[in-house]
């Protein structure tokens, strides 16, 4: 209905900006249509997944739940254990090939997220490239940037800007692209994260965004302060820990504590897998900063 209030705006915004507990807490929204109620539940369960509560999601979503919720459950199973990987990927391929449900946007989004985790970007794009929602468009931007195709990412961003230039995901995607392009665009990316931090709750995602911009501009002391603030909010966040490893090494400080935390909480992280010592990890990490 044109002009109707968007009852899920606050919940969505919290989720997009990484305020996952706030998203869960703002989930008690009344008078939703069936479709909106399913979207709300998906966002709440995806927030629990982001907080590492995989088993809760698996336990609560039963086999009678709608397709989007079943897809979210698959993501929880996938992230819970590498033992589940083959079964989950087999299930998701089977569902995507089913004409009745294969085009469901949440199912396609979860497929994209899973194949992006697998670093199988072409497979991810099979399901996400058609877009259809702002989240799918934003995921496409991320996938193209992972493939080092900022030209395709820019085209996808233009689609988002035509739909809603002020949308949180459009602004985030603009910042991601600006970071990838570099140069004078870094300052523009910083201003986007700064705007988020003034308007909304400060989250690890926003603080990391500001910190990465600072590192690109050579302001490592400022970056460190943002990252330590992010670490206070979430001591296990892999991006915060990885960025602290890089930042510490640039400042000539020991990064071993952050690398050890990263190894314990995220043994699959790129920095852990690629370098057995902080110095080796640094050689890899500076390529991404």
Q: What is the pLDDT of residues 171-193, one digit of tens each?
A: 999 999 999 999 999 999 999 99
- d(C-alpha 130, C-alpha 133), whole Å: 9
Mean pLDDT of 160-166: 96
Cβ-in-10-Å burial (0-12, 13-18, 19+) of 184 comes to: exposed
What is the pLDDT, as a whole number, of residue 271? 76
Task: Tell me the per-residue pLDDT of 32-80, one tens digit each, with 9 for 90 and over.
Answer: 999 999 999 999 999 999 999 999 999 999 999 999 999 999 999 999 9
Residue pair 41/73 in contact by the 8 Å Cβ criterion = no
Mean pLDDT of 250-269: 85
Residue 261 has pLDDT above 50, yes or no: yes
| pLDDT tier at 145, thresholds 50, 70, 90 | very high
What is the residue whose two structure tokens read 């296990």? 236
What is the residue whose two structure tokens read 């099979």? 126
Residue 279 has pLDDT above 60, yes or no: no
Cβ-in-10-Å burial (0-12, 13-18, 19+) of 192 comes to: buried
| pLDDT tier at 96, thresholds 50, 70, 90 | very high
Query: What tokens were used for 113?
Result: 């997220």
- d(C-alpha 63, C-alpha 248), whole Å: 47
């Amino acid at each position: 209905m044109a002009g109707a209030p968007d009852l899920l705006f606050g919940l969505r915004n919290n989720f997009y900006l990484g305020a996952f507990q706030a998203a869960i807490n703002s989930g008690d929204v009344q008078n939703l249509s069936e479709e909106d109620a399913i979207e709300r539940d998906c966002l709440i369960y995806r927030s629990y997944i982001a907080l590492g509560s995989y088993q809760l999601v698996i336990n609560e979503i039963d086999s009678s739940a709608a397709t989007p919720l079943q897809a979210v459950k698959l993501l929880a199973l996938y992230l819970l254990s590498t033992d589940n990987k083959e079964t989950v990927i087999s299930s998701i391929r089977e569902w995507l090939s089913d004409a009745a449900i294969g085009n469901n946007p949440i199912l396609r989004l979860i497929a994209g997220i899973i194949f992006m985790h697998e670093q199988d970007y072409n497979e991810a794009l099979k399901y996400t490239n058609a877009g259809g929602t702002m989240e799918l468009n934003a995921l496409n931007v991320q996938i193209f940037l992972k493939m080092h195709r900022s030209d395709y990412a820019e085209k996808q961003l233009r689609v988002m800007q035509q739909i809603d230039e002020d949308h949180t995901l459009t602004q985030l995607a603009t910042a991601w692209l600006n970071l990838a392009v570099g140069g004078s665009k870094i300052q523009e990316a910083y201003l986007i994260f700064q705007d988020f931090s003034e308007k909304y709750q400060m989250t690890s995602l926003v603080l990391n965004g500001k910190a990465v911009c600072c590192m690109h501009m050579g302001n490592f002391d400022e970056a460190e302060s943002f990252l330590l603030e992010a670490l206070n909010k979430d001591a296990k966040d892999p991006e915060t820990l990885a960025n602290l490893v890089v930042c510490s090494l640039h400042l000539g400080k020991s990064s071993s504590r952050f690398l050890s935390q990263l190894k314990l909480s995220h043994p699959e992280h790129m920095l852990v897998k690629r370098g057995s010592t902080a110095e080796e990890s640094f050689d890899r990490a500076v390529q991404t900063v």
